[in-house]
Structure 1
């Protein structure tokens, strides 16, 4: 399993879709916070999901999820998927993306790279452990994030 990238821009500049559930019942959201590395002798990804997000329920209720990365031309689609809730609209229909079954989870035909991830760990971020300036910037009016660490079990590249 090999993946070469600029780790400091993979999430922040390129974004990704985090998707959890099965093809007949799933939700997806754009993530721009995350990390790649090793932990417990495994290749892992770390992602952060606000507890208020609809996708949070799906990540909690499934053992696996996918992270999918797309060509630049899909950036506006990812922007919509990151700002609209699946509780309020059919994001997938409006996105024009093609969901596909991937190792018991869901990916997208248009993705250039898909990580199949197995959850290993979850922990809520605690406001008292975060510097005040960050709390002021990110948590004054929004829900906190939960941090998920997952093993990258497979990388599918086009």
Structure 2
């Protein structure tokens, strides 16, 4: 397998609508001592505050949120379709209960002390620049709360994290 290499951001070409909504990603954060990751399909990339940025959304109850809140960096790793079952697993199992990396067979690697998933195709390594809690008061459309925050997810709102893309790695 080819090793990850730094990749120039101006050469990056991908469709964020299919890459996020259909293919998903694993958000990873932590340290050499302890790391956690979770599947996500909400987020995006763009330019904010004069920086190339990625933004992600993490629910309050997710274990990975603790790692992002307590750290300076997070990564977004994207995969081939053959890893879809691993992505499903990372989306439904909590790292509080088990070591998802050991169970899945996916492995964590580090680039400049930022954790990412080694089996991916490309990785956005991000320095956290903002954490914006989303509350019910932010919804201009009341259907959002009904559709996304009812039932078992009642009041389990997201925090939007913005991260400056410090580096991109690709195979």
TM-score by length of 2: 0.89
Other-structure match for 1:74:
83
Other-structure match for 1:138:
148
Moved over 6 A (4+): none
Distance 1:73 1:82 in 2: 16
Count of residues paired in the alignment: 158
Superposition CA RMSD, Å:
1.0
1:104 and 2:113 aligned = yes
TM-score by length of 1: 0.96
Other-structure match for 1:31:
40
Q: What do residues 89-132 of structure 1 show as CA deviations (whole Å, max 9, x unaligned)?
A: 12111111121112212112211101110000011111122122
Give the match's secondary structure for 1:114. Answer: strand
Other-structure match for 2:5:
none
Q: Which has the higher helix share?
A: 2
Distance 1:87 1:43 in 2: 32
Other-structure match for 2:168:
155
Distance 2:158 2:90 in 1: 18
C-alpha displacement of 1:44: 0.3
CA contact (8 A) 1:103 1:116 kept: no
CA contact (8 A) 1:23 1:100 kept: no
Distance 2:104 2:131 in 1: 29
Give the match's secondary structure for 1:97. Answer: coil
Give the match's secondary structure for 2:38. Answer: strand
